[in-house]
Structure 1
Amino acid sequence: MSSTHETPPDPVRNAFDRGVVACGRIAAWLVFVAMAISVYEVIMRYAFASPTSWVHETVVMLVAVSFAFAGPAALAGNRHIRVKVLYDSVGPAARLWLDRFNDLVAFLFCLGMSYAAFTMFWDASHNPLGEWQLERSGTSWNPPFPALVKGVIMVALIIMCLQTLLHFVQSLRGKPAPQIDDTEGTA
């Protein structure tokens, strides 16, 4: 029995985005790691009356890293926010111009956010004298997670800058953003 179901086009635009999607899939597993150590904490606390001092901060850090890399992964898979009513109501030539406008605005936004993230990371990774010193949480365990998460957010925004710049160049060359099937899971 053969199926005439057509395979939807790949929403990933280029090799850089494919790498981002692969890294995003790895980062998504951090949520499961966070869940596993949360279960460990519950068992230790309630079964053995031996609570941990490191689980809460570690879980928050792992989930924050996973969420930070969700932005570049969504952008790579063309799953970012778009005003579909406007986009779907115009023809291919106008869509290409909308892609160019969207890519340029997204690039400028990510560039500004990257600068803001850099200043936050710099402040979290250097003392007032300019020497390398990671900001710590201030708890009894005191890990350097605040500085590390700020660094991850900065990296994620820089990745998004590169992505939007590549997307803008592709749209200038006449390659439209791929259409995605956003009816997945609907009857």
Structure 2
Amino acid sequence: MRASSATRELLWPLVFMASAGYLAWYTPRLIIWWGNASDAMINRFPVAGAPEFLALAAFVLSLIMGPLTIRPTVQEGTNQTVFDRLSLFMGRVTMLLIVSLVLVMFYEVIARYVFEAPTLWANELSLWMAGAIFLFSGLYAMQQRSHIRIYLLYDMMPRNVQRLCDTFSVSLIVGFAFIMLWGSYNEARDKFLRWETFGTAFDPPIPATIKPLLIVFICLVALQAVVNLICDWNKDKEVHSVVDEAEIEEYVQEMGEKLKKKG
């Protein structure tokens, strides 16, 4: 039962990766169908057909069903909003991307040093995947409150002052996201619409995909920060201390008891 549940949970991240990977190569066909393509793009690519629309439908469906089927772990908590579940879903996608990245690099090492037949695509595909991992994991880390924070002064403050500090820090994040959106939107749009590629033998569309993704995920991280602020507003004051071995053992036992109750 647990194995089948885990399989179902990984299904939609796999669908997301497969459909996104297909669209990463064939989005120009959809741009041509939409009517915003340049003459150079029209000469390079045919118009979108059934495979492109099926991939687009699978991509959208995975973004809907993926968050709905997520089963948060004990460490991830249980009180999630819809936006939290989207971040958790992107965390699952990130895990699969890391596995895929390792496999690509392993293949390249074997091909290069064992068979003396290096590939033209492994290095750039690794860069492409690493960029996506960086962006996706940033959203997941924000949802989990896992980014580096210094609590030395924060823990000494009363809860009302902590809320004020939290509001100020979230305001900085939102302000940064707004500045990035304001300053980079036109460039990202142009790279996407002309489908700018890497200019190599493999020639992946890294600029056309990573630049828009960068803006999208910076905005998503800012939204997640706002969601965190709202969800944590009425929480009691927490004191963060260095975890020793006794605390770790106690935590493991507590998690084990919770898992037994769930089982």
TM-score interval (norm. to shorter):
0.7 to 0.9
CA distance in 2, matches of 1:52, 1:28: 24
Residue correspondence of structure 1 range 81-120 to structure 2 within 5 A: 81-120=148-187
- What is the RMSD computed on CA atoms of the aligned residues? 2.9
Gap change, CA 1:90 and 1:107, over 3 Å in 2: same
Q: 1:81 to 1:154 in 2, by over 3 A?
A: same
State the partner residue of 2:134.
67
Does residue 160 in structure 1 map to residue 221 in structure 2?
yes
The answer to whether 1:138 aligns with 2:199 is yes
1:175 matched residue in structure 2: 234
Counterpart-to-counterpart distance in 2, 1:165 and 1:38: 37
2:129 counterpart letter in structure 1: L
- In structure 2, relative to structure 1, the CA distance for the partners of 1:179 and 1:69 (3 Å cut) is farther
- What stretches of structure 1 of length at least 5 have no aligned partner? 1-6, 126-131
Cα distance in structure 1, aligned partners of 2:158 and 2:117:
63
Measured against aligned partners, the alpha-carbon deviations of 1:102-137 in whole angstroms (never above 9, x if no partner) come to 222221122222333423312322xxxxxx211111
Secondary structure of the structure 1 residue equivalent to 2:160: helix
Give % identity. 25
Matched, 1:42 2:109: yes
| Distance of aligned partners of 1:111 and 1:94 in 2 relative to their CA distance in 1, 3 Å threshold | same
Q: Which residue of 2 aligns with 1:128?
A: none
> How far off is 1:90 after superposition?
0.7
Q: Name 2:188's counterpart in structure 1.
A: 121
Alignment counterpart, residue 56 of structure 1, candidates 111, 123, 135: 123
After the TM superposition, which of the residue ranges 153-162 and 59-68 deviates more from structure 2? 153-162
How big is the shift at 1:83?
A: 3.0
Deviations 1:20-60 (A, max 9, x none): 02212321321221110111112222333322101000001
Q: CA deviation at 1:164?
A: 2.8
Letter in 2 for 1:16: F
Partner of 1:26: 93
Residue aligned with 1:122, SS: helix
2:96 & 2:176 partners in 1: Cα distance?
28
Residue 70 of structure 2 aligns with which residue?
none
> Is the contact between residue 188 and residue 211 of structure 2 (CA under 8 Å) also seen in structure 1?
yes
Which structure shows the higher helix fraction?
2
Choose which of 68, 80, 96 in structure 1 pairs with 2:147: 80
2 CA distance for matches of 1:107 and 1:182?
Answer: 29
Unaligned runs of 5+ in 2: 1-73, 246-263
Q: Give, in whole Å, the separation in 2 of the partners of 1:177 and 1:157.
A: 29
SS in 2 for 1:83: coil
Q: Aligned pairs, how many?
A: 172
